[in-house]
Structure 1
Amino acid sequence: MAAELWIDGRPAGLEDLGHQALINYGALTSFGVEEGGVRGLDRHLERLKVSALELFGEAVVEDRLRDQIRMALAGRGDAWLRISLFSRELSLRQPDWIGAPQVMISVSAPPSPLPQGVRLQSQAYAREAPHLKHVATMGLLRARRMARLAGFDDVLFTDAEGRISEGSLWNVGFIEGETVVWPEAPMLDGVAQALIREALDRAGSPQRTEVVRLPDLSRFDGAFLCNSATPAGEIAAVDGHVFTGATETVQQIGTLWRSQPRQKI
């Protein structure tokens, strides 16, 4: 399925796409649609609302967003959506424009999940405005490229204080016995991560958040990455540290994510 692009409920035009190519400013969220529903849809919509208020000064009305999503899906029950917010009114010469942004929706086939057993290279890097899922991706793509060229599968970020934060396209969790440990550092609060947290609480499974640094990795049994496309992908190694394995626990975390209900659009 080739990706389809819609802007404000109509097929994307050259003027809109030209602006997107030249002005790298905006926010996004992405998720899978399964049988017409989305796990964590309310969180994705809230992310767009909060991001729009911070970046543009005005949010997009939720009913308008939902209408555009349904229009772009055109009755398809399964697809992958990326919703981006931007404005043709905002530019390098007029960065102080305030108003409701335009909405671009990309509809494509669901992506393949990231592989299990990934090997990560740690790099000191922090995304600009890490609490936002924004379109400024050059830094993280360069970091991921450097890791791949060095023979790793992906990259794990540490901040200026040496705290592990997140990966290139995902959040990270560590497994210590029966406990999931989430790193404490500036990062994007992922929707998949939030859904796993909710499911762990509901199941009565222990979890906590604390500062984790690279020398701490030896005390963990395993680690996993999570995003909307890969709710639980096992991590095999970080730099030269190899995890002893927590495959069963990672699989259970994936099952907990799938236990979250799909919300209607």
Structure 2
Amino acid sequence: MAGAVELSVDGAPAKPDDLACLALVNYGAYTSFRVEGGGVRGLDLHLARLEAEAVELFGEPVGEPRLRALMRAAVTDRAACWLRVSLFSPEMSPRTPDWRGVPRVMIAVSPPPAPLGDGPRLQPQTYAREAAHLKHVATFGLIRARRAARAADFDDALFIDGDGRISEGSLWNIGFLRGEAVIWPQAPMLAGVAQALVQRGLAGVGLEGGAEPVRLADLGTFDAAFLCNSATPACAVAAIGDRIFPARPALIDRIRTAWASSPVQPI
């Protein structure tokens, strides 16, 4: 995270014991997003993600009213910022994996990050995140994949599962454009909030949306590719491996407009 970061746990400043737990026990999950004008695009989806993560990883939900109250307290009077809302428990460890209860909530507040730049070149890598449907805190594989891609003169990594299907990227979802349709790849992956917001707005910009298995051999059937995450509504992909995609700025602008059609939801 760029810039100063403020950390709170359950509404109070984070203590050394909290940070020690987070540093030493790599078990938890989170969501992250931009706050603008006291609200968040897709806040309902971020809250639903946190509640599902809490139940699956810890056995009990936090509760939406409490999550909202903690977010409001962290944001205070800021006009814009970036929140990372994390779930963890000091009771959970390799020796106590069966602990069950309401997780603690850590919120990191920082300046909003810049969107990813247009034109990344992606290196296909055979890799699948553990429990891919969760936005969990295990980032070793992601960082290692990005590092390997850059060492090979690419900008980022695109993951291919054991069955040869394209799934997701290191920090983002990928979509493909074929004519007037956006195609999302079908494979185990994290269902991104930005991806869902783009999908919600496609009809309003005259595009259709669908999903199908996509393999490297299929890339020639698409007109363009883009990636998206909460910091980047849509970013055109320049190449995947040796497959170069022509610039389609008008199409990418329509994707960004689709994302922007979702209103900011008050915290």
The answer, yes or no, to whether TM exceeds 0.5 is: yes
> Shift in Å at residue 201 of structure 1?
3.4
Given that residues 204 and 258 in structure 2 are in contact (C-alpha distance below 8 angstroms), is that contact kept between their aligned partners in structure 1?
no
**Which of the residues 129, 132, 137 maps onto 1:130?**
132
Counterpart of 1:24 in structure 2 is 26
Distance in 2 of aligned mates of 1:187 and 1:100: 26
Equivalent residue for 1:255? 257
SS in 2 for 1:156: strand
Measure the CA separation in 2 of the matches of 1:166 and 1:127: 9
Of residues 148, 154, 157, the one that matches 1:155 is 157
> Residue type of the partner of 1:146?
A
Q: Deviations over 1:224-252 (max 9, x none)?
A: 00000001000000011101222210111
* Structure 1: 5+ residue stretches without partners: none
Aligned-pair distance for 1:192? 0.4
- In structure 2, the gaps of 5 or more residues are none
Letter of the aligned partner of 1:262 in structure 2? V
Opposite residue 223 of structure 1, the aligned amino acid is: A
Deviation at 1:200, TM superposition (A): 0.9
Q: So what's the TM-score if we normalise by structure 2?
A: 0.98
Conserved? CA contact 1:27–1:85, under 8 Å: yes
3-state SS of 1:132 partner: coil
Deviation by residue 1:126-167 (Cα, 9 ceiling, x = unmatched): 000000000011011101110011111101000000000000
Q: Which amino acid aligns with 1:151?
A: D
Separation of aligned partners in 2, 1:261 and 1:74: 21
State the shift of 1:110 in Å.
0.2
Tell me the CA shift for residue 264 of structure 1: 0.1
Which amino acid letter does the alignment assign opposite residue 187 of structure 2? Answer: A
Residues 140-149 or 239-248, more deviating: 239-248
How far apart, in 2, do the equivalents of 1:247 and 1:45 lie?
32
Q: Which of 240-249 and 118-127 deviates more?
A: 240-249
Residue 10 (structure 1) aligns with: 12
1:85 equivalent in structure 2:
87
Residue 198 of structure 2 corresponds to: 196
Aligned to 2:245: 243
Secondary structure of 1:232's aligned partner: strand
Letter in 2 for 1:95: P
Q: Is residue 215 of structure 1 aligned with residue 217 of structure 2?
A: yes
| Structural mapping, 1:32-43, within 5 Å | 32-43=34-45
Which residue of 2 is the match for residue 206 of structure 1?
Answer: 208
Which residue identity lines up with residue 230 of structure 2 in the other structure?
S
Greater Cα shift, 194-203 or 119-128: 194-203
**Structure 1 stretches (4+) deviating beyond 3 angstroms?**
201-204
Mapped partners of 1:158, 1:85: distance in 2:
28
User: What number of residue pairs does the alignment pair up?
Assistant: 265
Structure 2 residue aligned with 1:166? 168
- What TM-score, normalized by structure 1, do the two folds share? 0.98
Over the aligned positions, Cα root-mean-square deviation in angstroms equals 0.9
The residue correspondences of 1:84-103 to structure 2 (distance < 5 A) are: 84-103=86-105
How far apart are the structure 2 equivalents of 1:135 and 1:21?
A: 11
Residue number in structure 1 paired with 2:120 = 118
> Of 175, 180, 183, which aligns to 1:181?
183
Name the CA distance, whole Å, in 2 between partners of 1:23 and 1:54: 17
Q: In the alignment, is residue 48 of structure 1 matched against residue 50 of structure 2?
A: yes
- Secondary structure of the structure 1 residue equivalent to 2:145: helix
d(CA) in 1 for partners of 2:107 and 2:167?
Answer: 29
CA distance in 1, matches of 2:266, 2:27: 30
Structure 1 position 97, deviation (Å): 0.2
**SS of aligned partner of 1:17:** helix
